[in-house]
Structure 1
Amino acid sequence: MHDLETLNSGGYASTTHLKLTCPLPSGLFPSAILSLGTTLTHLDLSGTGLSSLPSNFGTSLPNLRILSNGMVSIPEGSLPTKTLRWLILTDNKIEKLPEDLGRCENLEKCMLAGNSLSSLPASVGEGWKNLALLRLSANRFESIPQWLFTNLPKLAFLSFAGNPCVEKQTGEATAKAGKRFDLEAIEWEKLELQETLGEGASGVIGKGLWKQSEEYAEEVAIKVFKGGVTSDGTPRDEMAAVLAAGFHEGLITVLGRVVGHPDEVVEGAAAAAEGEEEKKKKFQGGIVMQLIPEYYSALGLPPSFDTCSRDCFPEDASLSAAEALGMLTGIAGAAAHLHQRGIAHGDLYAHNILASKADRHALLGDFGAATIYGTDNEEVYAGMEKLEVLAFAHLLEDVLGLIRREKEKKSMETSEAESAVVVAADAAPPAFRDSAELTEEEEEAIVQGLEKLQKQCADPQVDSRPSFEDVAVELEDLVGFRGMMRIPIPNLN
Structure 2
Amino acid sequence: MHDLETLQNGGYKGEEVTSLKLTCPLDTFPLDIFDLGATVVRLDLSGTGLSSLPSAFGTKLPSLKIAFFSQCRFTTFPAELAHCPRLEMVAFRGNCMAHVPENALPPRLRWLILTDNKLQTLPRSIGACARLQKCMLAGNQLETLPQEMQACKKLGLLRLSSNKFNSIPEWLFEMPELAFLSLAGNPCSSRPLASPDSALSSKHGGTRIGSLARVAWSDLEVQETLGQGASGVILKGLWRTDSTTTLEVAIKLFKGALTSDGTPLDEMAACIAAGQHENIIDVLGQIQGHPDEANGSFQGGLVMQLIPPHYSTLGLPPSMDTCTRDTYPLDAVLSFEKALRILADVAAAAAHLHSKGLAHGDLYAHNVLASGEGHALLGDFGAATVHNRVTSSRFEQLEVLAFAHLIEDMLALVPRDGRSEQIVRLYDMHQRASAADVSSRPCFKEIASELGSLRGKPSLRAN
Q: TM-score range, shorter-chain basis?
A: 0.7 to 0.9
1:115 and 2:134 equivalent? no
Higher RCO (CA 8 Å, separation ≥ 6 residues) = 1
**8 Å Cα contact 1:8-1:32 kept in structure 2:** no
> Which residue of structure 2 aligns with residue 329 of structure 1?
344
Query: Alpha-carbon deviation of 1:23?
Result: 3.2
Query: Alpha-carbon deviation of 1:465?
Result: 0.2
What is the alpha-carbon distance in structure 1 between the residues aligned to residue 231 and residue 197 of structure 2?
22
**8 Å Cα contact 1:13-1:36 kept in structure 2:** yes
Query: Alpha-carbon deviation of 1:230?
Result: 1.2
1:63 and 2:86 equivalent? yes
> Which residue of structure 2 aligns with residue 394 of structure 1?
405
1:168-212 per-residue CA deviation (whole Å, 9 max, x = no partner) reads x34579999978974332211111010011122322211100112
Instruction: Report the AA paired with residue 77 of structure 1.
Output: N
> Which residue of structure 1 aligns with residue 167 of structure 2?
143
1:361 and 2:361 equivalent? no
What is the alpha-carbon distance in structure 2 between the residues aligned to residue 289 and residue 40 of structure 1?
42
What is the alpha-carbon distance in structure 1 between the residues aligned to residue 209 and residue 300 of structure 2?
20
> Which residue of structure 1 aligns with residue 57 of structure 2?
33
What is the alpha-carbon distance in structure 1 between the residues aligned to residue 198 and residue 114 of structure 2?
34
> Which residue of structure 2 aligns with residue 291 of structure 1?
306
What is the alpha-carbon distance in structure 2 between the residues aligned to residue 238 and residue 373 of structure 1?
13
Instruction: Report the AA paired with residue 437 of structure 2.
Output: Q
Label 1:79 to 1:444 Cα distance change in 2 as closer, same or farther (>3 A).
Answer: same
Instruction: Report the AA paired with residue 244 of structure 2.
Output: E
Label 1:205 to 1:61 Cα distance change in 2 as closer, same or farther (>3 A).
Answer: same
Secondary structure of the residue that 2:293 maps to in structure 1?
A: coil
Residue among 136, 157, 166 paired with 2:189: 166
1:301 and 2:321 equivalent? no
Label 1:143 to 1:171 Cα distance change in 2 as closer, same or farther (>3 A).
Answer: farther
What is the alpha-carbon distance in structure 2 between the residues aligned to residue 383 and residue 393 of structure 1?
16
What is the alpha-carbon distance in structure 2 between the residues aligned to residue 116 and residue 383 of structure 1?
24
What is the alpha-carbon distance in structure 1 between the residues aligned to residue 199 and residue 226 of structure 2?
27
Residues 60-209 of structure 1: pairs in structure 2 closer than 5 A: 60-69=83-92, 70=95, 71-81=97-107, 83-125=108-150, 127-150=151-174, 152-167=175-190, 169-171=191-193, 182-209=211-238
Q: Which has the higher helix share?
A: 1
Label 1:244 to 1:320 Cα distance change in 2 as closer, same or farther (>3 A).
Answer: same
Residues 441-456 of structure 1: pairs in structure 2 closer than 5 A: 443-456=419-432
Label 1:253 to 1:35 Cα distance change in 2 as closer, same or farther (>3 A).
Answer: same
Label 1:177 to 1:463 Cα distance change in 2 as closer, same or farther (>3 A).
Answer: farther
Residues 263-278 of structure 1: pairs in structure 2 closer than 5 A: 263-264=292-293
**8 Å Cα contact 2:227-2:235 kept in structure 1:** yes
Secondary structure of the residue that 1:396 maps to in structure 2?
A: helix
**8 Å Cα contact 2:336-2:414 kept in structure 1:** yes
Label 1:28 to 1:180 Cα distance change in 2 as closer, same or farther (>3 A).
Answer: closer
Query: Alpha-carbon deviation of 1:122?
Result: 0.9
1:225 and 2:254 equivalent? yes
Label 1:120 to 1:252 Cα distance change in 2 as closer, same or farther (>3 A).
Answer: same
What is the alpha-carbon distance in structure 2 between the residues aligned to residue 471 and residue 170 of structure 1?
31
1:67-126 per-residue CA deviation (whole Å, 9 max, x = no partner) reads 111322111111123x1111111111111111100111110111011111111011012x
Secondary structure of the residue that 1:11 maps to in structure 2?
A: helix
Query: Alpha-carbon deviation of 1:34?
Result: 3.1
1:206-261 per-residue CA deviation (whole Å, 9 max, x = no partner) reads 11001123433111111122302111111111111112200101101122222222
1:254 and 2:272 equivalent? no
**8 Å Cα contact 1:177-1:243 kept in structure 2:** no
Instruction: Report the AA paired with residue 397 of structure 1.
Output: E
Structure whose CA Rg is larger: 1
Query: Alpha-carbon deviation of 1:17?
Result: 1.0
Query: Alpha-carbon deviation of 1:287?
Result: 1.8
**8 Å Cα contact 1:173-1:372 kept in structure 2:** no
Residue among 35, 40, 43 paired with 1:11: 35
Secondary structure of the residue that 1:39 maps to in structure 2?
A: coil
- 4+ long deviations beyond 4 Å: 170-182
> Which residue of structure 1 aligns with residue 66 of structure 2?
42
What is the alpha-carbon distance in structure 2 between the residues aligned to residue 157 and residue 170 of structure 1?
23
Instruction: Report the AA paired with residue 256 of structure 2.
Output: G
Residues 417-428 of structure 1: pairs in structure 2 closer than 5 A: none
**8 Å Cα contact 2:211-2:272 kept in structure 1:** no
Instruction: Report the AA paired with residue 250 of structure 1.
Output: N
What is the alpha-carbon distance in structure 2 between the residues aligned to residue 173 and residue 213 of structure 1?
24
**8 Å Cα contact 2:369-2:377 kept in structure 1:** yes
Instruction: Report the AA paired with residue 451 of structure 2.
Output: L
What is the alpha-carbon distance in structure 1 between the residues aligned to residue 133 and residue 161 of structure 2?
18
> Which residue of structure 1 aligns with residue 433 of structure 2?
457
Secondary structure of the residue that 1:456 maps to in structure 2?
A: helix
Secondary structure of the residue that 2:223 maps to in structure 1?
A: strand
**8 Å Cα contact 1:86-1:107 kept in structure 2:** yes
Instruction: Report the AA paired with residue 103 of structure 2.
Output: G
> Which residue of structure 2 aligns with residue 419 of structure 1?
none
Instruction: Report the AA paired with residue 331 of structure 1.
Output: V
